[in-house]
Structure 1
């Protein structure tokens, strides 16, 4: 600008003229404004932020309220405040004029699970034409955590605190015997010292006493955390245009684990949580009642980075199992090694509930050499499906017009791992996909519809 003014002044002294005088006067005014902006511009800029609501779940919108204060001797035509978050950035244009403090708010839409941090802030200002500007980076760090959105069996949580599908123990009547409530059928693995011989002789089948720890609902959650357990199978990829609407398999698994933990908290049930990245044979959480804050933080920050396979996790977790417990296994894709481990536990009398995203052909089936794929090659489908069925992005089969299965329940194909485990007595649940802004749907129940769920 100084060079331009020097050239304009030289031309005016040489040739004169009103036009050059006007340019010289306008340039001088602009230069004086820029000099004043540099000398007496904003100082002591302070930015404060408040994030609401206090507890966020994945897919929710976070409202950020910003209050900015500064000191300046001249009016400011405009300011731009830029916040750099871990998931993106936000710019706000304001016109302060003679004001020295102002507030505004903005939303962070569909915030994903995890710990979100403000990496930096930049405040810029300038004169009206925008030729002379200044900026600063106010200090201040902001961190907020986003919990996984809980996925419940059957839908949302009613006002009475019970989850649809919860198992409710019947109340004892006036004439019921308290001893009868402490006796159950014999389960393989029960020690002979707990066998109730009188009740066994009366019923004709072996009966066992219920230990004190088993009297309430008990559940062990085994959450697979190895990256291989969540690799998308060949043929299960969705088109690029639809990927934004599909929830990653690991996020669905963490949501299912959060729903089970919250259900156990409301019903004061005994719960265990096993996952990778922890000393072998040690549960990440074990107890009943209110969940500690560290458990919520664990599910907020957990990532599929464990080194233990699902089969190894099941072996470690089984060291603390007692008869009567329900084992909930959550994984992305089913594979042969872990399926054989679960089958062995089922034969031993362990109650297994399996939550998965992708199924695979079972070993020895006619389709065992084929990957999980859809007829159209878009989303992963279960093999051996008729032509009138299709697959949703989450791995669910949907019956089309004219399909005999359209009026009945949708179940895994007999030639898949899920179908084989269901025949052994496992409860099978396929996790659905839903857009985060709409919340997560419930899990589709396949196995043993006449048996109440334990959570």
Structure 2
């Protein structure tokens, strides 16, 4: 907590010195008045310094990019000393400094701050300070607030009925690629039979070899899962938010993730940003909300290219039976890695034509041509395209036929 030095005391001292120098009684009376007012203001500042709790409520919550976002502010002071003014000062991420004048009601003060239509992002409220002014306007007390709150704006995604990757599933040799067991369980190990267990779990080859009943230990199969990987390579980020190629990639990633979760498939969101994360999504309830929050704050700051991520993949991104990659930086090595992966599992690619966000003529990427020729479904998204029409198979077919 800190207080701004009171000008009344300084002015009173100056007037008193002038009164003594010139022998002016009138000026001396004025000086004494200023000194008393300044002393009273300093006393008020000492009493006003107290703990203040603050609550910030974001509306709508969760917000989606393009929404008109408002923040309701409510503060409660421990001190009962009356104040003349209450102002909240803070920093809101890269939006910069914000200021809101609050209306006081005793120890309480409330106000509302309109942030306008925000782009996707996670805007952390930092350096929050409450400035209290005394009733005479002579003294100001600044109190630091603990407001660990962030304004989270989710990407605006679209609902898809069928995906571009649902058709044309061909392996690298031109044959249709099928998962041997799209769902179910894998054999993990075997152990001795326990009384009461179903004979359906008996592993007969091991039973015959050991001469006693042995049952199968099963673990849930990952072959029915899908990993949606968002490439955060800055080389594929062109334009300024919210109209940037990377924002389009984020929207595509969220839309694909939602489509798979709506089908009841286990999915994993994988990002290659500097704070690389892997988040499992099992439903459209809490898990999917957490994924959208992750996509809200992701930035194009990957420390290495896509091919390295594909080569070093572990966990859900490596075990899932299907891999969907959203990228704006499709290098030759990345294409080679994707072709290798397509020999083991289903692979689909959303190619973000980043140069189109810079006004450059659109062209077919040679890497996308290689992938398409190998039977890997590829959807190309350019600036101005309808995202749903690019990712949704029925809409793509309708568009192709006129």
Does the aligned pair in 2 maintain the 1:76–1:125 contact within 8 Å?
A: yes
Name the residue aligned to 1:201: none
Which structure 2 residues correspond to residues 354-393 of structure 1 after superposition, within 5 A?
A: 354-358=350-354, 379-382=358-361
Note if 1:141 corresponds to 2:147. yes
Does the aligned pair in 2 maintain the 1:59–1:149 contact within 8 Å?
A: no
Is the alpha carbon distance of 1:151 and 1:429 closer, same or farther for their aligned partners in structure 2, counting shifts above 3 Å?
farther
Name the residue aligned to 1:224: 231
Is the alpha carbon distance of 1:63 and 1:220 closer, same or farther for their aligned partners in structure 2, counting shifts above 3 Å?
same
Deviation at 1:350, TM superposition (A): 4.6
Deviation at 1:268, TM superposition (A): 0.9
Q: What is the distance in 2 between the residues matched to 1:287 and 1:124? A: 46
Q: What is the distance in 2 between the residues matched to 1:415 and 1:95? A: 58
**Greater displacement, 329-338 / 137-146:** 137-146
Deviation at 1:263, TM superposition (A): 2.0
Deviation at 1:108, TM superposition (A): 3.0
Name the residue aligned to 1:429: 380
Which structure 2 residues correspond to residues 300-379 of structure 1 after superposition, within 5 A?
A: 300-316=296-312, 320=319, 322=321, 325=322, 327-342=323-338, 350-358=346-354, 379=358
Aligned residues: 337
Q: What is the distance in 2 between the residues matched to 1:28 and 1:95? A: 33
Note if 1:78 corresponds to 2:77. no
1:230-284 per-residue CA deviation (whole Å, 9 max, x = no partner) reads 355xxxxx6xxxx46633x433323322222222222212434444379x9xx92
Which structure 2 residues correspond to residues 162-177 of structure 1 after superposition, within 5 A?
A: 163-166=160-163
Name the residue aligned to 1:266: 262
Q: What is the distance in 2 between the residues matched to 1:50 and 1:221? A: 34
Name the residue aligned to 1:200: none
User: Match of 1:108, SS?
Assistant: strand
Does the aligned pair in 2 maintain the 1:148–1:300 contact within 8 Å?
A: yes
Does the aligned pair in 2 maintain the 1:116–1:145 contact within 8 Å?
A: yes
Name the residue aligned to 1:445: 390
Note if 1:36 corresponds to 2:40. yes
1:403-433 per-residue CA deviation (whole Å, 9 max, x = no partner) reads xxxxxxxxxx357544554455532221547
Let me know the Cα RMSD of the aligned residues: 4.7
Which structure 2 residues correspond to residues 394-433 of structure 1 after superposition, within 5 A?
A: 413-414=363-364, 416-419=366-369, 421-422=371-372, 424-425=374-375, 426-432=377-383
Deviation at 1:125, TM superposition (A): 1.2
Which structure 2 residues correspond to residues 207-286 of structure 1 after superposition, within 5 A?
A: 211-213=181-183, 219-227=226-234, 229-230=235-236, 232=238, 243=240, 246-247=243-244, 249-276=245-272, 284-285=278-279
User: Match of 1:121, SS?
Assistant: strand
Note if 1:101 corresponds to 2:108. yes
Unaligned residue ranges in structure 1 (runs of 5+):
158-162, 170-183, 191-204, 233-237, 360-373, 383-396, 398-412, 435-440
Q: What is the distance in 1 between the residues matched to 2:91 and 2:364? A: 51
Name the residue aligned to 2:126: 118
Unaligned residue ranges in structure 2 (runs of 5+):
1-10, 185-222
Q: What is the distance in 2 between the residues matched to 1:289 and 1:141? A: 31
Does the aligned pair in 1 maintain the 2:162–2:392 contact within 8 Å?
A: no
Is the alpha carbon distance of 1:79 and 1:345 closer, same or farther for their aligned partners in structure 2, counting shifts above 3 Å?
closer
Runs of 4 or more, structure 1, over 6 Å off, are 205-209, 346-349
1:6 pairs, out of 13, 16, 23, with: 16
Deviation at 1:223, TM superposition (A): 1.9
TM-score (norm 1): 0.58
Q: What is the distance in 1 between the residues matched to 2:177 and 2:147? A: 61
Q: What is the distance in 1 between the residues matched to 2:170 and 2:99? A: 66
Q: Which has the higher strand share?
A: 2
1:353-385 per-residue CA deviation (whole Å, 9 max, x = no partner) reads 3231425xxxxxxxxxxxxxx8xxx92413xxx
Note if 1:49 corresponds to 2:55. yes
Deviation at 1:352, TM superposition (A): 2.3
User: Match of 1:284, SS?
Assistant: strand
Is the alpha carbon distance of 1:111 and 1:28 closer, same or farther for their aligned partners in structure 2, counting shifts above 3 Å?
farther
Deviation at 1:149, TM superposition (A): 0.8
